[in-house]
Amino acid sequence: MAYEPPYPKPLQPTDKRSLWNLFKRGKRSWLETLYEGAYNGKLSRIRLPGTQIFLVRFPNLVREVLIDRYENFPKHELIEEALKPLLGESIFTTNGPTWERQRRMLDPAFEQARLKEVFPMMHGAADDLFKRFGELKDGETREIEVEMTHVTADIILRTILSVPLEGEGAREIFHSFKQYQEKATLMIQLGVFRIPLWLMPHHYFAWKKSGRKIRARLEEVIKQRYESYHAGETGGHKDILASLLEARDTETGTSFSQTELVDQVAMLFLAGHETSASALSWTLFLIAKCPDIQEQIFQETQEVIGDRLPEFRDVSKLKMIRNVFRETMRLYPPVGFLTMRKADNVGCLHNREVPDGSPVVVSPWLMHRHRELWEEPDAFIPERFEGGLDQEKCAYIPFGAGPRICIGAAFAMQEAMLILASLVSRFRFEATPGQDPTPISRLTIRSENGIPLQIFKR
């Protein structure tokens, strides 16, 4: 029998359905609001005060929303409002021509050639992680989400700005982001339930303040680089900011202004480290629970890299690790719910009239555990990814799909292979008995009380 890792048991039809119950459960985690029926079927409508949310969960319909008719499903302004104090007008929340321009200008920073250049910058962060783990007593327990958030934040700061997560400034950015995320999740929830934000002034002001603090710190670094670049000094940087400074819109020839750069950099930090940290933490938990699989991937690392750090060219050879990582993102997709979309001139979807302005939600969490799409949907079976997936396109969407697919997907895969291969080749992980984590949905899928793992040296 394959291992079935923990997930919140779906609600039953007899469980209370009042709005207040839904709000309370949703405040703890959106996963707690899901009924058994949500893991089946194709489309449902959830009635809320003054609106109805359409929950889409079958490949052909996901395809319609994310790919074929994506212009009729722009990102909802509720998300933009929740993220604006931090991200301004960033690619994550914009729509139409503004988004198209930003995407054209950001794409080159994430092309294969550029990734090859930033890959060695990830090594520094990985080395620091091994040093921290190397100093532990054999079998000592660490909270693995904290460790993975640290290393991925370090990687993102080094690859975007060439700054390690060492100094006071970088630490302040890191802690303010944490606070910002908690508050932004609450703001989105209040928005969905149409509760005015000023009813919670304490959270409201903390949310605005943390956004301002991060921007002020990022502005310091970016201003300096922006001025040098426009004075003709490149400084030899090969990071993502260098690529953004060079970016020109092919249609208008314009470059990013300083404010636009702060918007994009803040967004890349937000989108690029929590997601990877979530995926890496769940992967380590799953291999800790499945020692046979952990041993198999250890053998793979010995064959491919031995005791050195993986190079860019090694990544494609780490096939088993990749399957383990993909299967982890099936069971615990870091983005459990894609950014809410807003119906614009949709007409009908699956024979249902979708009024203009209705929120439309696509959930990787539900797609990946859909009872009709997957065999043993709740079991951890990395081999199901061997030789590619038989599933219809859009059944497996950890990075989304269509024109708004994650721009950092290849970056995230390289980063994950580097961290996992080098960790597994040096350390062995064991789960702490009786302390299995409960997944909850914030901006990403996290554990409610952390994931404590014991770490042994190989």
Residues that bind ligand HEM (CB under 6 A): 91-92, 103, 267-268, 271-272, 275-276, 279, 334-335, 338-339, 398-400, 404, 406-408, 411-412
Supply the minimum distance, in Å, between the C-beta of residue 156 and ligand HEM.
6
Q: Quick one: 173 or 406, whose CB is closer to ligand HEM?
A: 406
Supply the minimum distance, in Å, between the C-beta of residue 142 and ligand HEM.
21
| Dihedral (Cα; 126, 410, 393, 320), 10-degree rounding | -40
Per-position DSSP letters for 19-50, written without gaps between them? HHHHHHHHHH-GGGG-BGGGGSSSEEEEEETT
Supply the minimum distance, in Å, between the C-beta of residue 274 and ligand HEM.
9
**Structure-block tokens of residue 425:** 């080749």
Q: Quick one: 118 or 304, whose CB is closer to ligand HEM?
A: 118
Supply the minimum distance, in Å, between the C-beta of residue 264 and ligand HEM.
8
Per-position DSSP letters for 143-205, written without gaps between them? EHHHHHHHHHHHHHHHHHHS--TTSHHHHHHHHHHHHHHHHHHHHHHHHHTT--GGGSHHHHH
Collect all residues with Cβ–Cβ distance below 8 Å to 301 and sequence separation of at least 6. 318, 321, 421, 422, 424, 425
Supply the minimum distance, in Å, between the C-beta of residue 267 and ligand HEM.
6
Supply the minimum distance, in Å, between the C-beta of residue 200 and ligand HEM.
26
Beta strands in 71-227 (DSSP E): 140-143
C-beta atoms surrounding 27 within 10 Å:
15
Q: Quick one: 411 or 429, whose CB is closer to ligand HEM?
A: 411
Q: Quick one: 359 or 400, whose CB is closer to ligand HEM?
A: 400
Closest residue by Cα to residue 281 from 332, 322, 327: 332
Closest residue by Cα to residue 397 from 323, 443, 334: 334
DSSP-derived 3-state class of residue 415: helix
Question: Using CB atoms, what's the residue nearest to ligand HEM?
Answer: 408
Supply the minimum distance, in Å, between the C-beta of residue 307 and ligand HEM.
26
- Tell me the sheet residues that pair with 53: 46
Supply the minimum distance, in Å, between the C-beta of residue 369 and ligand HEM.
16
Supply the minimum distance, in Å, between the C-beta of residue 225 and ligand HEM.
18
Supply the minimum distance, in Å, between the C-beta of residue 198 and ligand HEM.
28
C-alpha distances in angstroms, 326 versus 91, 332, 382, 398? 26, 10, 7, 9
Q: Which residue has the tokens 């943390």?
A: 210
Q: Quick one: 75 or 428, whose CB is closer to ligand HEM?
A: 75
Alpha helices in 32-111 (DSSP H): 59-63, 77-87, 96-106
Q: Quick one: 408 or 439, whose CB is closer to ligand HEM?
A: 408
Q: Quick one: 11 or 160, whose CB is closer to ligand HEM?
A: 160
C-alpha distances in angstroms, 412 versus 142, 315, 326, 440? 23, 12, 12, 22
Closest residue by Cα to residue 73 from 377, 271, 361, 282: 361
Closest residue by Cα to residue 170 from 133, 377, 426, 162: 162
169 vs 407: CA distance, rounded Å: 27
423 vs 426: CA distance, rounded Å: 5
C-beta atoms surrounding 150 within 10 Å:
18
Q: Quick one: 153 or 271, whose CB is closer to ligand HEM?
A: 271
Q: Quick one: 114 or 404, whose CB is closer to ligand HEM?
A: 404
Length of the chain: 458
Q: Quick one: 365 or 429, whose CB is closer to ligand HEM?
A: 365
Supply the minimum distance, in Å, between the C-beta of residue 275 and ligand HEM.
3
Task: Give Cα 91 to chain centroid, integer Å.
Answer: 15
Q: Quick one: 229 or 396, whose CB is closer to ligand HEM?
A: 396
252 vs 13: CA distance, rounded Å: 55
Supply the minimum distance, in Å, between the C-beta of residue 123 and ligand HEM.
16
Alpha helices in 253-315 (DSSP H): 258-289, 291-304
Closest residue by Cα to residue 456 from 131, 127, 126, 133: 133
Q: Quick one: 310 or 400, whose CB is closer to ligand HEM?
A: 400
